[in-house]
Amino acid sequence: MAPRSRPQPAETATFVFQGTVRKARGTTMGATSSKGRTAIVHVDQIVEAPRDLVGWAGQDVTVQLAPGADVTAGRALVFRTVPLMFGEGLLVRALEQEPVTPGRAAVAGAEDPTQRHAARQLAEHVDTADLVVSGQVTSVTLPADTRPRAARSGNASTTRPISEHDPKWRDATIEVDKVHKGEHSAPTVTVRFPSSDDVRWYNAPKFHPGQHGVFVLHRASPADAPAGTAARAAVRGRQSVVYTALDATDFHPSSDTTDVAAALATSPAKKPRRRS
C-alpha cells in the first residue's frame, strides 16, 4: 500500500486587484511558457499585495486564467492571483475572478493593500500555530544534538559537513507568562530557531536573553524538522516537544502586539489560559 500523503493546504491568493480586461486573449510578456489562456488586464486598484507588487497599480499585467473563465474585453473584475513570473511584464495566475460589486469596491479602497496583506498572513499564521505564548527569553543555548558528530563521539571521520546554508540552530528558553492558544502547563517552553543570517534564514527571528513579547510557535514534524536535531527526535517520541520559530511573524515584541492580538481574537482555535 502506498504511503498516505498529508493533505496540502488550499492555495492562497497573494496579489488581489480590481482590473479591467484589455484583451481577452494576449500577453505582455513576449515569449512565455505559460500554460493555458492568458488575458491582458489593466490593474485599476490593488486590494492586497506584498510590498514589491504595489507598484503595478495603473499598469497592464498578464493573467493566466482558470479553465472556463468568463472573461471578455472591457469587463471589470476582482482577480485573486499568485505571481508566476517577472520580466518584460508581470505574469500572474488567477485562482478565481469575481464581479466588481459596490461592497468589494469599498473594501478595495479601505486601507493600504500591504497592511491588508500582512494582516491576513498573520491571521493565517496564528490559525495554524500549535502554541502562542507571551513571555521572556531567559537563555539561548547551542543544542547538544546539533554539534558535529566528532565532538560527541571523538571520531573526526564522522564529522558532519557544514552546508553553506547552515542554520546554526539555537535553543531559546522562554519563561511563559500566559498561554494565548494551545495547551502548555510547564513554566518554560523551548523554541528552536536559526541564528544564521544566511539568505535562507534571514527573516527568521533571532532571540537573545531579555526579549519579551508574544511567540507564535509551530511544533516540528518529521518532514519539516532539520535532520539530526532534537526537533526530529521529539516528534518521534524520544524527547519532549520542541517548537520552532522560522517566520518573521513568529515573534512580536511587547511594544508591538496590537496586530497579533487582533489575529488571536479571531482565531477559531483560541484557548487562552493564565499561569497561576
pLDDT, residue 22, reads 94
CA dihedral 174, 117, 123, 197 (to 10 degrees): -20
Residues forming beta bridges with residue 82, ordered by sequence position: 93
Is residue 218 within 8 Å of 204, Cβ to Cβ?
A: no
For the domain bounded by 124-274, which CATH number is listed?
A: 2.40.50
Q: What gap in Å lies between CA 13 and CA 35, rounded to an integer?
A: 19
Which residue spans within 117-187 are E strands per DSSP?
A: 131-141, 169-181
> What's residue 148's pLDDT?
55
Residue 252, all three cell numbers: 512580536
Give the C-alpha separation, 129 to 250, whole Å: 9
Residue 81 confidence (pLDDT): 92
pLDDT digits (tens, 9 = 90+) for 20-74: 999 998 888 876 556 678 999 999 999 888 888 888 999 999 999 987 788 899 9
What is the rounded distance in angstroms from the CA atom of residue 93 to the CA atom of residue 65?
Answer: 6
Indicate the pTM of the whole model. Answer: 0.55
Q: Which residues of the chain, if any, have pLDDT below 50? A: 1-9, 104-108, 110, 150-153, 156-161, 223-225, 227-239, 270-276
Nearest to 190 by CA among 242, 147, 226: 242
Q: What is the DSSP letter of 249?
A: G
DSSP H or E run through 261: helix 258-266
State how far the Cα of 247 lies from the Cα of 169, in Å rounded to an integer. 14
Question: Which one of 2.120.10.30, 3.40.640.10, 2.40.50.120, 2.40.10.340 gives the CATH number of domain 15-110?
Answer: 2.40.50.120
Give CATH 2.40.50.120 domain extents, the chain: 15-110
